[in-house]
Structure 1
Amino acid sequence: MDAFYAAVEQAAKPSLRGKPVIVGGLGPRGVVATASYEARVFGVHSAMPMAQARRLCPNAAYLTPRFGLYRRVSEVVMGLLRELSPLVEPLSLDEAFVDLQAGGAGGGAGRWPAGAARAVGERLRRDIRAATGLSGSVGLAGSKMLAKIASEQAKPDGLVVIPPGTERALLAPMPVRTLPGVGPATAQTLRRAGIATVGEIAEAGEAELVRLLGRAHGGALYAMAQGIDERPVVAERDAKSVSVEDTFDTDLTDRARIQAEIARLADRCVARLRAAGRSGRTVVVKVRSYDFSTLTRSETLRGPTDDPAVVREAAARLVEGVDTTAGVRLLGVGVSGLADFTQEDLFAQAGAAGLPGARPPEPAPPPAAGRAGSGRETEAVRHWLPGLDVRHTRYGPGWVQGSGLGRVTVRFERPGSPPGRVRTFAVDDPELEPSEPLPPWDGQVSEPAIRPNVMSSSEAGAPAPGTPSP
């Protein structure tokens, strides 16, 4: 999918279409999750510090991510891919590999004719646009590595086929970082040896690469430099852990606040665990200090659990043993050792039954001030984040453009409507409420057209343009 998060926001917010949009963390330490193509013209890209993005593109719309909505759109796209083949390997919400041969939709056994593959790819792109209103780019090739490269070349909103026999000529001038498994350290090792392109890797020979990088890594890179990638498309990847983390705008030093944040993160982690229908045996806490040094602590329970009280207590014990006096920049809570069943905590069971000597269940802590939640929690805090959905009793659905000084600015529009009018309210206006996001196809297509399709790649998008000050 093309600039996925930003594209979803532009499709759902008519006033942002054709304008620079940037999605990500909006605090002083936030980073860009994705930027629209209009914002990329100014040099903004994903993983860039948000403060730098604001300097490069001050008139963009800067929006808080709405991951629930992005997942809904992603499910529609992945459904189209699974109509094409049972072998679909999602890499993220907006990118996946599809094994066309397993689907047998156009080539049957053996190689696909390039024309048949192209026809399936074009049909996929049409179906994605019809179902979601968004564009995707498709790369078709004989291996995962080459299909990924083709999809990047196809961006935005295009299709590229790499015919068999052309792989080496295509790869030769590309930088070594193009190949999977070549990170900064490997690239530096190759550069010291005078190897800067994929063609030079192939010319160096397997023996030289094994000498430089070791047998496994050197041999794999030599094969890939010649266009050989035997990795299969894997339909199901079993998650090994579930975790959540937050970076704070200012370093935390207060122990009570740190414990409250750990408890809140533990509850979020368990909610995600339960949503996946899993339980876990090991609780992990991550602490990043003011100087970016990071440590983790873990505790293994007697059996798998999805009880929030059990995870909160374990996380609290773990963070209690960490020195946080110098300041904490990031906290995280995770659960690993996943299982599909739960061995209930005996003490928790005893507490629920009111047995003598049992621990009473620990109540969930109140939300930290200044953090937006959902439902009544959001209403109490009245912290309106740019990009989030609202509904007004008189004016209907809209989204927050900005807030501050006790006021909140809302643009009233919805997917498929003309650009809407902007109005400003007091942050505690009783007629203004948080609401569920409307999908980008709302008002566009009566029903997403889920029809068979191909293999697609995507990327994280960028923030939205021109968020006015309140």
Structure 2
Amino acid sequence: MDRTSPTPAPTASLRRIVHIDMDAFYASVEQRDDPSLRFRPVAVGGNRARGVVAAASYEARQFGVRSAMPSVTAQRQCPDLIFVPPRFEVYKAVSLQVHDIFRRYTAIIQPLSLDEAYLDVTAPLIDRGSATAIAAEIRAAIKAETGLTASAGVSYNKFLAKLASDYRKPDGLFVITPKQGPGFVETLPVGKFHGVGPVTASRMNALGIYTGLDLRRQSLAFLTGHFGKAAAYYYGIARGEDDRPVDADRVRKSLGTETTFPQDLAAWHEVEPALVAVCARLWAAYQRGVSSGRTVTVKLKFTDFRQITRSRSTAEPIVMRSELERISLDLARSCFPLPRPLRLLGVTLSNLDDEDRASRQLALPFDHAPEAPNAHSARDSG
């Protein structure tokens, strides 16, 4: 019989996991560095006419402004919205400061982005008696050394630690104990679960699964029939269970960058130099230690926001920028003549061989935020 009532998680070999998430990171850095922006609605990225919002301050979010939202929509929802160009080198520098703080307490750190990471403090380098005390000390150090706030979640697995960090944002600290874990997820909408994006949440809703309790009531066989390999993960998190380790050696699967243009592009003589520039920015990231990749993907987004992608894989790793440019140009040229003008070009290199630790902790400097697959990956979750 499938277990439907909450049962405390097993106490043997419990891990102590902390999830740290900087609050509205990009926007908060801008407000820190420019006092005139404090307590005002700020959007990082884009502009009033084009592009999308990369990040929004909490003051802007009160008007419904979110990351990946078209700038024109954000301006309409918040007429007083202040657009600020992104300064990714500054954000990277602050991120390195924050990660230096993490490393005082543990070597087991899994960065998710510039502003978010899991820490395993089961056997910390500096023991404060509890994971909660360590999380509180880390938050205080971040505030003192960067002038920014971070939210922290503490629990016995990654899934619940991330839920906990979201629970008291901004500038919050929340703990989910083994006894609380299974019950905590019961009333939460499945769309709030990390790993359940909007499409999956809609599919679950269509099956009558709206909350964690609804999900727990389903058998593993039923979930497998509808969600395939992801079923075991969903079955576990509905019970507050998640065995995934904090992976300090997590390897990035791809690197990509994209640019939204101030004016639409239609002719090949306009697209070609623009695409070469995108390739140059992508290749620059490799100077931080990424060795090579084997698959090039070009993305073309049109003025109606429809997009197409074209990919090509090579037998040997791509080791020269000229080869990346050649393949990217060939892929883009195959899409001509264009059905309508372009507003965005992007290039991604995947099937990466290896990369050093430093590069894994740094995101590429997008002109705007990538369109997130679910709410948890968008910067407005910060």
Q: Is TM > 0.5 for Structure 1 vs Structure 2?
A: yes
Give TM-score scaled by structure 2 length. Answer: 0.81
CA positional deviation for 1:57: 1.6
State how far apart, in whole Å, the 1-side matches of 2:191 and 2:54 are.
Answer: 21
CA positional deviation for 1:223: 1.3
Q: Identify unmatched segments of 5+ residues in structure 2.
A: 1-21, 356-366, 368-375
Given the alignment of the two structures, is residue 200 of structure 1 paired with residue 200 of structure 2, yes or no? no
State how far apart, in whole Å, the 1-side matches of 2:249 and 2:233 are.
Answer: 24
State how far apart, in whole Å, the 1-side matches of 2:89 and 2:175 are.
Answer: 33
State how far apart, in whole Å, the 1-side matches of 2:318 and 2:226 are.
Answer: 44
What is the identity, as a one-letter code, of the residue corresponding to 2:122? Q
Given the alignment of the two structures, is residue 173 of structure 1 paired with residue 194 of structure 2, yes or no? no
Equivalent pair of 2:155/2:176 in contact (CA under 8 Å): yes
Equivalent pair of 1:143/1:228 in contact (CA under 8 Å): yes
Larger radius of gyration: 1
Q: 1:182 aligns to what SS in structure 2?
A: coil
Tell me: higher relative CO, structure 1 or 2? Use CA pairs within 8 A at least 6 residues apart: 1
Given the alignment of the two structures, is residue 19 of structure 1 paired with residue 60 of structure 2, yes or no? no
Superposed, 1:176-325 pairs within 5 Å as 176-214=190-228, 216-291=229-304, 292-298=306-312, 300=314, 303-305=317-319, 307-325=320-338
CA 1:219–1:246: 2 relative to 1, 3 Å: same
Equivalent pair of 2:68/2:378 in contact (CA under 8 Å): no
Equivalent pair of 1:35/1:44 in contact (CA under 8 Å): yes
CA 1:169–1:280: 2 relative to 1, 3 Å: closer
Q: 1:322 aligns to what SS in structure 2?
A: coil
CA positional deviation for 1:22: 1.3
Equivalent pair of 1:94/1:459 in contact (CA under 8 Å): no
State how far apart, in whole Å, the 2-side matches of 1:36 and 1:124 are.
Answer: 23
CA 1:6–1:290: 2 relative to 1, 3 Å: closer
- Correspondence for 2:70 among 49, 53, 59: 49
CA 1:283–1:46: 2 relative to 1, 3 Å: closer
Given the alignment of the two structures, is residue 32 of structure 1 paired with residue 45 of structure 2, yes or no? no
What is the identity, as a one-letter code, of the residue corresponding to 2:379? A
Equivalent pair of 1:24/1:34 in contact (CA under 8 Å): yes
What is the identity, as a one-letter code, of the residue corresponding to 1:35? A
What is the identity, as a one-letter code, of the residue corresponding to 2:126? A
Given the alignment of the two structures, is residue 149 of structure 1 paired with residue 163 of structure 2, yes or no? yes
Q: Deviations over 1:343-363 (max 9, x none)?
A: xxxxxxxxxxxxxxxxxxxxx
CA positional deviation for 1:459: 7.4
Q: 1:194 aligns to what SS in structure 2?
A: coil
What is the identity, as a one-letter code, of the residue corresponding to 2:352? L
Q: 1:72 aligns to what SS in structure 2?
A: helix
Q: Deviations over 1:322-381 (max 9, x none)?
A: 22333223222233343469xxxxxxxxxxxxxxxxxxxxxxxxxxxxxxxxxxxxxxxx
What is the identity, as a one-letter code, of the residue corresponding to 1:167? G
Root-mean-square deviation (CA), in Å? Answer: 2.6
Q: 1:78 aligns to what SS in structure 2?
A: helix
Identify the residue that residue 63 of structure 1 maps to in structure 2: 84
State how far apart, in whole Å, the 1-side matches of 2:38 and 2:295 are.
Answer: 45
Given the alignment of the two structures, is residue 124 of structure 1 paired with residue 138 of structure 2, yes or no? yes
Q: 1:275 aligns to what SS in structure 2?
A: coil
State how far apart, in whole Å, the 1-side matches of 2:378 and 2:331 are.
Answer: 36
Equivalent pair of 1:2/1:459 in contact (CA under 8 Å): no
Superposed, 1:428-439 pairs within 5 Å as none
CA positional deviation for 1:198: 0.5
Given the alignment of the two structures, is residue 460 of structure 1 paired with residue 363 of structure 2, yes or no? no
Q: Deviations over 1:118-165 (max 9, x none)?
A: 211111111001110100111100000100000001211111111111
State how far apart, in whole Å, the 2-side matches of 1:289 and 1:59 are.
Answer: 28
State how far apart, in whole Å, the 2-side matches of 1:182 and 1:297 are.
Answer: 27
CA positional deviation for 1:102: 3.8
Given the alignment of the two structures, is residue 99 of structure 1 paired with residue 18 of structure 2, yes or no? no
Count of residue pairs brought into register by the alignment: 339
Q: Deviations over 1:150-193 (max 9, x none)?
A: 00012111111111111122111100112233223332332222
Q: 2:32 aligns to what SS in structure 1?
A: helix
CA positional deviation for 1:309: 3.1
Identify the residue that residue 371 of structure 1 maps to in structure 2: none
Percent identical across equivalent pairs? 39
- Correspondence for 1:8 among 26, 29, 36: 29
Equivalent pair of 2:301/2:307 in contact (CA under 8 Å): yes
Identify the residue that residue 412 of structure 1 maps to in structure 2: none
CA 1:47–1:161: 2 relative to 1, 3 Å: same
Identify the residue that residue 396 of structure 1 maps to in structure 2: none
Larger mean CA deviation between 91-100 and 190-199 belongs to 190-199
CA 1:45–1:304: 2 relative to 1, 3 Å: closer
- Correspondence for 1:161 among 146, 171, 175: 175
CA positional deviation for 1:264: 1.2
CA 1:27–1:274: 2 relative to 1, 3 Å: farther
State how far apart, in whole Å, the 2-side matches of 1:205 and 1:325 are.
Answer: 48
Equivalent pair of 1:242/1:273 in contact (CA under 8 Å): no
Larger mean CA deviation between 296-305 and 127-136 belongs to 296-305
